[in-house]
C-alpha cells in the first residue's frame, strides 16, 4: 500500500484534486482491510460494498472524460448487482447456521450441507463473488476499469478489490468445498475465464489493456484452484496471489511511466524506450520474467504448483492452463521487447525522460526485486507466515505442502518448459495471428455491448413505468393508490376466507347511541359525496371526524379522542384556507359514467374489505399480553400514568421522533413550494411591468 501511495504521489503530481484522489485511495485500502478482517457476515458485506463505492470514485476520478464516467458506472452496476445477490446468500447462510460469525459458520459445514437453503445460498454467493472477481460473463468491467489513473490500476488489478471475490471463496471453501456443484461451477468458470481472457489480452494493442485482461486470466486460475480445493491447489493459489501482486503492480507502474514518457500506450507506437527508461526497463525485465514464469521468480513457483494441482484431476484443466500461461509468456515478451529493445525510429512516439523523479521508478523496482527475493531467500518465511496459517483455515483436513523452489525433473517442470516454448512461438506469430483472431472473433457479441443493451432495456422500462405511474394527474395517483390497497386487502382476505366458510360470529351488544352515531356517519359520508359546494363537503367531512371522536369517547379512549379532535379541527381549518385556491365544484367537468363506475367499484370494494377485516379481527379474542405489559411498566419504566403518552414518548420514542421529523420536513417542503410559486409570480409580474 505504501509503495502504491508513493507512486501515486509522483504520478498524480500534475493532476488537479490529487488530495481527493489520495483520500479515495486510502478509503479504498481501509475498506479492503475491513473486508479481510471482518468475521461477521453483515459487516463483511458492508466493507464489500464500500470497496464498490470507493472504486467507483477512483475509476471515475477523471470525471471530465465520458469514458471514465461510463466505465465507473459500469463497474459499480455490475459489482453492485452481484452484491445484492451476495447479501441474500449471506443472510441465508446466517439464518441456516443461526449465527453470522463466519468462523462459527465454517465449523458447521456437514450440518449445513443438509439444509434446503444450502444450494441456493451457494449459487447466490457465487454470483456475488463472480461479479466482484470479474469471472465470465462479468469479466468485461475489469478492463474497463483501466480508465482509472495508473496508480489505481496498479492497486485495483494486482492485489485488491478484484481478489475480494477470490478471498470470499477461499474463506467459504471448508463450507462448500465438498459440494460437486461448487467444484463444477468454479472449475468451469475459472478455466473458461482464464482461457478466454488470455485470448482477449493477446488481441490488444494498448499495453494497459493487455495487463488488464491478463488480470482476468489470473483471477480465473485462482477461482479454478479454489474449486479444486486440494492441498496442492490451495498452496498454488496462495503462491499465485503473491506472485501476481508483485509482478502485476510493477508492470502497471512501468506502463504508467511509458505513458508519461511518450503520451501513449499503443504497442505499435513504442520503440527504443530503454534509452530514457533504463531503470523502468530493469523493473519490467524482472517482473515480466515472473509473469512468464521463468525460474527462480515467484511466477515460476506458482506455475509449478498450478500444474501440480491441475494434474491431480487429469489433463483437461492442465491443458487449458498451459495454453493460457503460454499466452501470458507471449504478452510478457510483447510488453518487453518492442517498446524497450527495438531501436527508436521516426514513426515511434517521441520520448522524454521522467525517471528523475525517484518515486516513479522506486516502487516498481522494489516489487521486481521482491518477485525474486521472496522465492529465493524468504520462501520459508512466506511458508510460515502465509501458506501454513491460510491453508489451515481453508482446508478441512490440513495437509499443507512444503513449498520448494526446485523439486527435480518432473512433469510440472516439463509443462513449464513447454509453456515457455509455446509462448515464444505465439510471440513470433503475433503479427500474423492477431489479425486472424480479430477476424475470427469479430462476429461474437462483446461483454460491453451486451451490458449496454441490457442497460438500455432497463432505462426504457424505467421510462415506460415512469410514464405510466408518474403522469402528473393527481386524481390518477389517488386511483392507483386505492387500486393497490384494494388488491392488497382482497388478496389477504381471500387467503383468510378460502375455502369459503361462514364468517365468525360476533357479539354485537349495541346500544342506541351506537346506532345513532353510525347513522349520522353514513349520512355525513353521503353528504360528502353528493355536496355541490366545497364548503358543504368540508363541513360534512369534518362532521365525520368529530363523530369519530365521539366513538372514541364512548369506548373509553379520551386521549385518542382528544388527539382526533385536534387533528380534525386543524384539518378543517387547513382545508378551509385552501378552499379559496380551488375551483368551485360546479365548474369541475362531470366525470364520465365509466369513470364514476370505476370509482364506485373501488370505493365499495375497499369499504367491504375493511368491514370484513374488522369483522374477522373483532371475532378473535384479543391478546392482552401487550396491553398488560404497558399497564405494568408505564409508571416504573416511563414515569407516567397516561399509558398512551408513555408509549408515544418513551416506548416508541424514536418512532415518534421519526414521524415528527417527517411531518416537519413535509411542512417545510410545502412552505418552500408555496414560497417558490409566490416568488415566480412576483418575478412574472415584475417582467410584465417592465414590458
Sign for the CA dihedral angle at 111, 113, 117, 118 comes to: positive
Residue with cell 521482491: 370
Closest CA to 420 of 240, 253, 297: 297
Q: Please tell me the number of Cα atoms within 13 Å of 270 on its side-chain side.
A: 28
Closest CA to 405 of 556, 473, 304: 304
Helix (H, G, I), strand (E, B) or coil at 663: helix
* CA separation, residue 687 to residues 674, 683, 690 (Å): 20, 6, 5
Q: Give the CA-trace dihedral at 171, 174, 176, 177, to 10 degrees.
A: 110
CB 7, CB 363: distance < 8 Å: yes
CB 252, CB 154: distance < 8 Å: yes
Distance in angstroms (rounded) separating the CA atoms of residues 478 and 464 = 20
CB 208, CB 265: distance < 8 Å: yes
Residue with cell 491478463: 214
Distance in angstroms (rounded) separating the CA atoms of residues 251 and 287 = 7
Which residues contact residue 292 at a Cβ distance below 8 angstroms, ignoring those fewer than 6 apart? 299, 328, 329, 332, 333, 420, 423
Distance in angstroms (rounded) separating the CA atoms of residues 603 and 617 = 21
CB 137, CB 447: distance < 8 Å: yes
Backbone phi and psi for residue 299, each to the nearest 5 degrees, phi listed first: -60, -40
CB 127, CB 185: distance < 8 Å: no
pLDDT of residue 604: 92
Closest CA to 131 of 83, 71, 181: 83
pLDDT of residue 574: 81
CB 145, CB 71: distance < 8 Å: yes
Distance in angstroms (rounded) separating the CA atoms of residues 19 and 245 = 25
- Angle in degrees, 0-180, between the axes of helices 358-377 and 298-311, rounded to the nearest 10: 50
Which residues contact residue 439 at a Cβ distance below 8 angstroms, ignoring those fewer than 6 apart? none
C-alpha cell at 91: 443472510
The C-alpha angle 44, 47, 48, rounded to 5 degrees, equals: 80
Secondary element (H or E) of residue 398:
none
DSSP codes, 545-567:
HHHHHHHHHHTT-HHHHHHHHHH
C-alpha cell at 220: 480465473
Helix (H, G, I), strand (E, B) or coil at 352: coil
C-alpha cell at 611: 368491514
Closest CA to 322 of 207, 422, 399, 253: 422
End-to-end CA, the chain: 65
Sign for the CA dihedral angle at 370, 2, 157, 251 comes to: negative
* CA separation, residue 611 to residues 489, 494, 521, 608 (Å): 11, 14, 15, 5
CB 324, CB 193: distance < 8 Å: no
Closest CA to 575 of 607, 596, 544: 544
Distance in angstroms (rounded) separating the CA atoms of residues 25 and 31 = 10
pLDDT of residue 579: 77
Secondary element (H or E) of residue 226:
helix 207-228
CB 291, CB 332: distance < 8 Å: yes
Helix (H, G, I), strand (E, B) or coil at 342: coil
CB 122, CB 89: distance < 8 Å: yes
Closest CA to 374 of 388, 384, 363, 362: 384
SS (H, E, C) 63-106: CCCHHHHHHHHHHHHHHHHHHHHHHHHHHHHHHHHCCCEHHHHH
Stretches where the chain sits below pLDDT 70 are 1-5, 156-161, 398-399, 677-691
pLDDT of residue 688: 63
- Angle in degrees, 0-180, between the axes of helices 207-228 and 315-336, rounded to the nearest 10: 160
pLDDT of residue 226: 95
The torsion region of residue 353 among left (phi > 0), alpha (psi -120 to 50) and beta comes to beta
pLDDT of residue 682: 66
Q: Which residues of 552-569 are buried (b: 16+ CB within 10 A; e: fewer)?
A: beeeeeeebbeebbeebe
R_g over Cα of the chain: 35
CB 78, CB 138: distance < 8 Å: yes
Query: Running DSSP on this structure, what letter comes out for residue 229?
Result: -
Q: Is the bond into 499 cis (omega within 30 degrees of 0)?
A: yes
Q: How many residues does the chain have?
A: 691
Distance in angstroms (rounded) separating the CA atoms of residues 308 and 311 = 5
SS (H, E, C) 2-46: HHHHHHHHHHCCCCCCHHHHHHHHHHHHHHHHHHHHCCEHHHHHH
Q: Give the CA-trace dihedral at 321, 372, 391, 185, to 10 degrees.
A: -20
Distance in angstroms (rounded) separating the CA atoms of residues 229 and 393 = 12
Distance in angstroms (rounded) separating the CA atoms of residues 649 and 658 = 12
Backbone phi and psi for residue 565, each to the nearest 5 degrees, phi listed first: -65, -45
- In 312-378, alpha helices (H): 315-336, 358-377
CB 500, CB 488: distance < 8 Å: no
Amino acid at each position: 500500500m505504501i509503495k502504491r501511495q508513493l507512486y501515486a504521489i509522483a504520478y498524480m503530481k500534475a493532476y488537479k484534486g490529487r488530495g481527493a484522489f489520495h483520500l479515495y485511495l486510502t478509503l479504498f485500502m481501509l475498506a479492503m482491510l475491513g473486508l479481510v478482517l471482518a468475521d461477521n457476515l453483515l459487516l463483511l458485506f458492508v466493507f464489500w460494498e464500500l470497496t464498490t463505492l470507493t472504486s467507483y470514485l477512483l475509476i471515475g476520478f477523471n470525471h471530465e472524460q465520458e469514458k471514465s464516467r461510463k466505465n465507473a458506472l459500469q463497474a459499480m452496476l455490475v459489482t453492485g448487482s452481484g452484491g445484492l445477490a451476495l447479501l441474500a446468500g449471506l443472510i441465508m447462510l446466517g439464518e441456516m447456521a443461526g449465527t453470522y460469525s463466519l468462523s462459527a459458520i465454517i465449523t458447521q459445514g456437514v450440518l449445513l450441507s443438509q439444509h434446503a437453503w444450502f444450494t441456493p445460498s451457494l449459487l447466490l454467493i457465487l454470483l456475488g463473488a463472480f461479479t466482484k472477481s470479474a469471472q465470465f460473463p462479468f469479466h468485461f468491467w475489469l478492463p474497463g476499469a483501466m480508465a482509472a489513473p495508473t496508480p489505481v490500476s496498479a492497486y485495483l488489478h494486482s492485489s485488491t478489490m478484484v481478489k475480494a471475490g477470490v478471498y470470499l471463496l477461499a474463506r467459504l471453501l471448508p463450507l462448500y468445498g465438498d459440494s460437486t456443484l461448487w467444484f463444477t461451477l468454479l472449475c468451469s468458470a475459472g478455466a473458461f475465464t482464464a482461457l478466454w481472457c488470455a485470448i482477449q489480452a493477446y488481441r490488444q494493442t494498448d499495453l494497459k489493456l493487455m495487463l488488464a485482461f491478463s488480470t482476468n486470466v489470473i483471477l480465473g486460475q485462482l477461482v479454478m484452484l479454489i474449486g479444486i480445493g486440494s492441498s496442492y491447489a490451495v498452496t498454488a493459489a496462495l503462491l499465485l496471489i503473491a506472485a501476481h501482486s508483485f509482478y502485476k503492480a510493477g508492470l502497471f507502474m512501468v506502463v504508467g511511466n511509458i505513458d508519461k514518457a511518450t503520451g501513449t500506450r499503443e504497442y505499435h507506437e513504442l520503440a527504443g524506450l530503454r534509452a530514457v527508461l533504463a531503470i523502468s526497463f530493469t523493473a519490467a525485465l524482472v517482473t515480466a520474467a515472473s509473469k512468464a514464469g521463468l525460474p527462480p521468480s515467484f511466477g515460476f513457483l506458482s506455475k509449478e504448483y498450478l500444474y501440480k494441482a491441475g494434474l491431480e484431476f487429469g489433463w483437461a484443466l492442465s491443458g487449458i492452463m498451459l495454453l493460457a500461461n503460454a499466452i501470458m509468456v507471449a504478452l510478457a515478451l510483447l510488453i518487453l521487447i518492442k517498446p524497450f529493445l527495438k531501436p527508436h525510429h521516426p514513426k515511434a512516439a517521441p520520448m522524454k525522460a521522467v525517471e528523475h523523479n525517484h518515486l516513479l521508478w522506486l516502487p516498481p523496482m522494489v516489487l521486481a526485486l521482491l518477485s525474486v527475493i521472496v522465492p529465493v531467500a524468504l520462501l520459508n518465511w512466506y511458508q510460515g507466515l502465509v501458506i501454513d496459517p491460510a491453508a489451515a483455515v481453508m482446508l478441512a483436513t490440513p495437509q499443507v505442502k512444503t513449498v520448494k523452489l526446485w523439486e527435480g525433473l518432473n512433469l510440472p517442470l516439463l509443462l513449464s518448459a513447454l509453456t515457455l516454448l509455446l509462448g515464444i512461438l505465439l510471440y513470433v506469430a503475433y503479427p500474423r495471428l492477431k489479425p486472424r483472431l480479430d477476424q475470427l472473433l469479430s462476429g461474437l457479441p462483446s461483454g460491453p455491448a451486451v451490458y449496454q443493451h441490457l442497460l438500455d432495456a432497463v432505462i426504457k422500462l424505467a421510462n415506460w413505468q415512469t410514464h405510466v405511474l408518474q403522469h402528473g394527474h393527481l386524481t390518477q395517483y389517488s386511483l392507483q393508490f386505492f387500486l393497490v390497497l384494494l388488491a392488497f386487502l382482497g388478496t389477504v382476505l381471500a387467503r383468510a376466507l378460502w375455502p369459503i366458510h361462514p364468517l365468525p360470529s360476533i357479539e354485537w351488544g349495541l346500544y342506541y347511541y351506537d346506532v345513532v352515531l353510525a347513522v349520522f356517519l353514513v349520512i355525513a359520508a353521503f353528504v360528502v359525496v353528493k355536496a355541490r359546494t366545497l364548503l358543504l363537503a368540508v363541513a360534512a367531512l369534518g362532521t365525520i371526524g368529530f363523530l369519530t371522536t365521539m366513538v372514541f369517547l364512548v369506548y373509553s379512549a379520551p386521549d385518542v379522542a382528544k388527539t382526533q379532535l385536534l387533528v380534525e379541527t386543524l384539518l378543517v381549518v387547513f382545508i378551509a384556507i385552501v378552499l379559496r385556491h380551488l375551483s368551485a365544484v360546479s365548474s369541475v367537468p362531470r366525470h364520465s359514467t365509466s369513470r364514476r363506475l370505476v370509482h364506485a367499484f373501488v370505493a365499495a370494494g375497499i369499504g367491504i374489505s375493511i368491514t370484513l377485516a374488522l369483522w374477522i379481527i373483532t371475532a378473535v379474542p384479543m391478546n392482552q399480553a401487550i396491553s398488560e405489559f404497558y399497564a405494568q411498566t408505564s409508571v416504573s419504566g416511563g414515569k407516567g400514568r397516561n399509558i398512551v403518552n408513555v408509549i408515544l414518548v418513551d416506548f416508541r420514542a424514536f418512532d415518534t421522533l421519526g414521524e415528527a421529523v417527517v411531518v416537519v420536513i413535509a411542512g417545510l417542503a410545502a412552505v418552500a413550494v408555496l414560497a417558490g410559486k409566490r416568488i415566480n409570480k412576483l418575478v412574472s409580474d415584475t417582467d410584465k411591468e417592465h414590458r
